[in-house]
Structure 1
Amino acid sequence: MAPSHDPRTHGFLPRRLPAPHLSGAWTDLDALAASAAAAPSREEARFLVENAARSGELTLLRRRVARLPQHRARAAAMRVAVVVAACGWTDLDPLAPVSRRAAHEEFLGLWAALAHRGDHQEFVALPTLSLLNWAPSRKPGRTVSVDQLARTESLVPIVRWSPKDQPLSRLDRLMLAGVRLEAHGIWMFRLAHSLAGRSPGDDSVAVALARLTRVQHALRRQLHLEERQMGPAPATGQQCAVLVALAEQGALEPPVLLTADAVLGMGGRMGGGSRHQLRRHLPDQHRAWLSALDRHSAGIHTLTHRRGPDADAYREAQESLVALRRTYAQLVRTATLASAGTSPRRHRALHAVN
């Protein structure tokens, strides 16, 4: 992997700050995403898309996708991902004929064009909704790295799931928590890289695994803090429906947990999906890095059947990852508890996230 895409540098966060505003005709997409996210229902969000399609806005934008610089194309894709989630279209393939019966063809065209421009086709997932949808609340210094900004600065969402005159919703806070989890998990990527290629008996294995366990404990403490702050935040049935739909698609998996899974050989646990399914929303280079990590961690995985200090450290790291996943699953459940309660269907969907 090229150094500029090396997750040890900034995790799976973008290499530069996400674009807080689009320019020119693309401001229409900014407005559509903001309105759809704050819409009280899927039907209202879909009505907004229909209006934008009838006015010709979406046709104009689709024709201009090829002119976008890469980082602007990613920014536009994030806005489209928000609209898709708000409209309840997370299970649609924009190129499938059946999709035309659910969504306006001009919106599907814009969606497909941005997917073609990007380095990942299925971008309607937590990594896109979160890692490209944040900004520091104050102007950052030029020399501060992206991961350091996300760790040390107060963050605000670019597209809010709550109206601007109201406090941040639980869904907003969950998305920002995902950004901070990725930023604080930077040491996870570095330790994973240091463990890759090692074999049982290597003097550094037990030390690196113990450090990995400490990082996971620190991330768990951070998630407990996020949950306490999230509890008093407002939530709506519409926002709950967005998260349930993403959970049903296996699209809530934080990349930092996928990294821990790869190095510890445990496989995905969020909803029980396969590694391919859980990783399909990531950019190509990130998926390639994780696949390489799978292969290079094969020697570490043999500790499952061994005894001794290395094996003890390995099992402790696995246990700490299980605890971290449960804590993250509890954060997601807290985010989906709308004020009016949660339906039995939502309870079943969220139970599968554990």
Structure 2
Amino acid sequence: MPSLPWTVSIQTAAYAIAHRLDGSIRRSLFSIGDLKKAPRPNASEVRSADITIDASRGISARVFSPSTAAGDTTPLPVVVFFHGGGFALFSAASRPYDTLCRRLCRGVGAVVVSVNYRLVPEHRFPAAYEDGVAALQYLDGIAVPADLAPVPVDLSSCFLAGDSSGGNMVHHVAQRWAAMSAASPPLRLRLAGAIMIQPFFGGEERTAAEMIFDKACRILTIARADHYWREFLPEGATRDHPAARVCGDGVEIAEAFPPAMVVVGGFDLLKDWHTRYVETLRRKGKVVSVVEYPDAFHGFYAFPELADSRKFVEDMRLFVDEHRSKRSLLV
């Protein structure tokens, strides 16, 4: 594996220390290191504020909106973001994700809605997926409050994006929204794209990449991945459950599934699952853009010190620009 800057090495080592050898989480230790950032509603470049989506279920979000030139009323696309962490860790306020969403807001030129969905072990499958759909329903009905996003947004150019377990959520939320769109009256919110950043997919089979790269990066190991699946999937389910295994001829892909962007890292132990997923989408006739970073480990995008992390933001911008709606829906 290529050498890493010392700042990245320290952060990945700290994440590793927060896990036991069997993959389980030392939650008290993790909570000490999971530093939070407050919203910045008055920031000059990227404003942020927190909103409540469903108080009864504890679903909320942090909204990031870029500053625009005075008088500019061009509608911006919306990126609904689901953070990673094995369905168990982090929040929209966690420093790595607050920083990442600010970078995406600024670099992609979009309003970013980073969702706080319910976590395991208290809320197993399918709670996270249901919360993702609830966030889209909120936006479809209310849109982004004008006081939080002073620029107009284009709900016909809504993109789902997520990393690791959040990337898994992108697939399943897109599937559910596509089915709802087909069965419901016309919805204002249209999914223009699904951006899966090293999505957390898997199965009972051990792939070659899992065996080779198990110790190549301290962010994700086989033991940690297995623990996350045990915590998330229904009691007694195996990793061949449809939530985890999303590749193969038996997998159903909705007719209205949006164009996809799949980010693959050369040192990611999940990369064989990503390849199989891309093959499945293509066999189903879906549009897929694969963006590969040969030197990247799982979680590289969260470290702005890395050149590949900066390139990823530019690649995401290009994907959004290519697939955003040509018409404007002002709200």
TM-score (norm 1): 0.32
Q: Which has the larger radius of gyration?
A: 1
Higher fraction of helix: 1
User: Which one has more relative contact order, counting CA pairs under 8 Å at least 6 apart?
Assistant: 1
TM-score (norm 2): 0.33
